Amino acid sequence: MWSHMPACVATPSMSPAPTVPKRETVARKPVTMDSEDRAVERRSGALTGCKVLLGICGGIAAVDSVRLLRELRRHGADATVIMSYSAQRVISPLAVEWAAGVKPVTEWGAEMAQLEPHDAVLVSPATRRCLAAHVHGVLDTPLQMALSAARGRRDPIMFVPSMHSDLFDDPVTDDLCQALVAEGASVIWGEREEGRYKTPDAVQIVADLCHLVNSRRPERRRVAVTLGRNRSRVDAVRWITNSSSGRTGWAIAEHLYRMGHSVHAVAGEVTSQPAFELPFVTSADDADDMLGALLDLASSDDAPTAWVHAAAVLDYVVAEPATEKVASGAEQWGLGLVRSTKHLDALTPLCGDCCRIAFKLESGVSDAQLIESARSLLQKHELDGVVANHLEEVSGHTGRRGLWVSDDAEPMPISNLGELAELIDAAICG
């Protein structure tokens, strides 16, 4: 259940790799290289301090290399690029240099830059020739030499193949991919469209690379993230619900995945979607269904070791929902509501010493009252942190996103979702 990659990713089974030291979080701001024209907006520090080698092969998907390089830089990567001879016929090295901020390696040179150590090697697009050459140890290009050196160092290597469906269906392709996985590489396939397997988009590729690199770091957890809103049935076609788009929960889940944690999202009704495909998402709109899914997860053999309760859970549900559609036209319709089971109450006996983060929303109260309410929740359930919000902050009517409340520090203002996700990651890692 807690695989580190989405279903479309093949991952190796091997002994744990050496751990990677923790890296400091950097400020979230645009990064400028040679000019403002090359600047990118920093979206996370998931690859800060990481040297990433991007190998570009000669498939038509090489035209997406500019987007891929800029996405790598958005998460802090220091990119080096090697282009195959055929890749240079598909996309200009000048365009790649603009996106990377450095000249790509395009031929053999005395510097032998391909032998330098990197924190990760990403080959996208990867042609079948590239896969076969690497499996069989052919060192006829700078990229193949770089891949061989990375394999010898047991560096993380990720291949993103792109090819015609007939080539994919050739059994030899599967043999090559299985050989790559057996020796420790990851292979990611995109969707089958228009008779070919295309590469996933740049956001998905970089998210999976972030996860692959950071999963080697210490203190990685199995994290359950609840998000979205609940609803309770009134009759066959009507419901009562509360307000939540799911955007905050998705942002937290995405960041934790990029940081190498195994993430299982339990999503209620949402109006926003994640930026990329997460490996495990359970949908549970109904309040009782969501609680049931969480209880099953908490009781499983690979139960979460950390919980983030970001869902907007109904405090009251319909006592006796009608099984049929209630006819319209009546002047009044009385509904009986009963208190719902609190997720924190139900899960506390099953969570033991898990790290747990909850959210507290209030309206029409002062900061002091909000903090007092958050501390009460913190102590009642022995939580590691509470994200305390005024309704006005959630609605975007103020410049502040909320307050981080914990036992070991003064309440800390939160200015944006990225900062919130980093605080939660720090709490989970201890």
> What are the tens digits of pLDDT across the range 267-321?
999 999 999 999 999 999 998 999 999 999 999 999 999 999 999 999 999 999 9
On whether both 306 and 420 belong to a single domain, the answer is yes
CA angle in degrees (0–180, nearest 5) for 261-149-98: 75
Q: Is the pLDDT of residue 398 over 80?
A: no
Query: Looking at residue 412, which CATH number applies to its domain?
Result: 3.40.50.10300
3 state DSSP class of 105:
strand
Is 285 a member of any domain? yes
Is 162 a member of any domain? yes
On whether both 305 and 208 belong to a single domain, the answer is no
Which residues have C-beta within 8 Å of that of residue 116, sequence separation ≥ 6? 51, 80
Distance CA 349, CA 146 (A): 51
User: For 31, phi and psi rounded to 5 degrees?
Assistant: -110, 125
Per the rule left: phi > 0, alpha: psi between -120 and 50, beta: everything else, 187 is beta
The three state secondary structure string of 350-383 is HHCCCEEEEEEEECCCCHHHHHHHHHHHHHHCCC
pLDDT band at 5 (very low <50, low <70, confident <90, very high): very low
Domain boundary pick from 214, 231, 265: 214
78-116: burial string, b at 16+ Cβ within 10 Å, e else:
bbbbbbbebbbebbebeebbbbbbbebbbeeeeeebbee
Distance CA 48, CA 30 (A): 13
Nearest CA to 311 among 370, 245, 371?
245
Q: What is the pLDDT of residue 193?
A: 86
Structure tokens at 244: 């939540």
DSSP type of residue 340: P
At 85-124, the pLDDT tens digits run 999 999 999 999 999 999 999 999 877 878 889 999 999 9
On whether both 201 and 349 belong to a single domain, the answer is no
Q: Are 271 and 249 spatial neighbours (Cβ–Cβ below 8 Å)?
A: no
User: Which element (helix H / strand E) includes 389?
Assistant: strand 385-390
On whether both 168 and 294 belong to a single domain, the answer is no
Q: Are 157 and 185 spatial neighbours (Cβ–Cβ below 8 Å)?
A: yes
On whether both 196 and 296 belong to a single domain, the answer is no
Distance CA 100, CA 85 (A): 18
At 49-79, the pLDDT tens digits run 999 999 999 989 999 999 999 999 999 999 9
Domain boundary pick from 180, 214, 248: 214
At 110-120, the pLDDT tens digits run 778 788 899 99
Is 4 a member of any domain? no
User: For 66, phi and psi rounded to 5 degrees?
Assistant: -60, -50
Distance CA 196, CA 231 (A): 41
Is 1 a member of any domain? no
Domain boundary pick from 160, 194, 214: 214
Owning domain of residue 414 = 222-429
Do β-strands 120-126 and 355-362 pair in parallel, antiparallel, or remain unpaired?
A: unpaired
pLDDT band at 397 (very low <50, low <70, confident <90, very high): low
Q: What is the pLDDT of residue 169?
A: 92
Q: What is the pLDDT of residue 234?
A: 94
On whether both 57 and 36 belong to a single domain, the answer is yes
Q: Is the pLDDT of residue 406 over 80?
A: yes
If one counts every other C-beta atom within 10 angstroms of the C-beta of residue 390, the result is 20
Question: In the chain, pLDDT over 90 holds for what percent of residues?
Answer: 80
| Domains identified in the chain, total number | 2
Is 2 a member of any domain? no
Q: Is the pLDDT of residue 347 over 80?
A: yes
At 357-378, the pLDDT tens digits run 999 999 999 999 999 999 999 9
Q: Is the pLDDT of residue 393 over 80?
A: no
Q: What is the pLDDT of residue 408?
A: 83
Distance CA 268, CA 397 (A): 25
On whether both 79 and 202 belong to a single domain, the answer is yes
The three state secondary structure string of 279-325 is CEEEECCEHHHHHHHHHHHHHCCCCCCEEEECCECCCEEECCCCCCC
Structure tokens at 309: 């309760």
Query: Looking at residue 114, which CATH number applies to its domain?
Result: 3.40.50.1950
On whether both 126 and 266 belong to a single domain, the answer is no
On whether both 103 and 167 belong to a single domain, the answer is yes
On whether both 143 and 168 belong to a single domain, the answer is yes
Is 236 a member of any domain? yes
On whether both 189 and 243 belong to a single domain, the answer is no
Q: What is the pLDDT of residue 11?
A: 44
Is 3 a member of any domain? no
Question: Comparing 11-20, 134-143, 171-180, which segment has the lowest mean pLDDT?
Answer: 11-20
On whether both 246 and 185 belong to a single domain, the answer is no
Is 61 a member of any domain? yes
User: What is the residue-averaged pLDDT of the chain?
Assistant: 90
Distance CA 193, CA 163 (A): 11
At 213-260, the pLDDT tens digits run 999 999 999 999 999 999 999 999 999 999 899 999 999 999 999 999
Q: Is the pLDDT of residue 14 over 70?
A: no
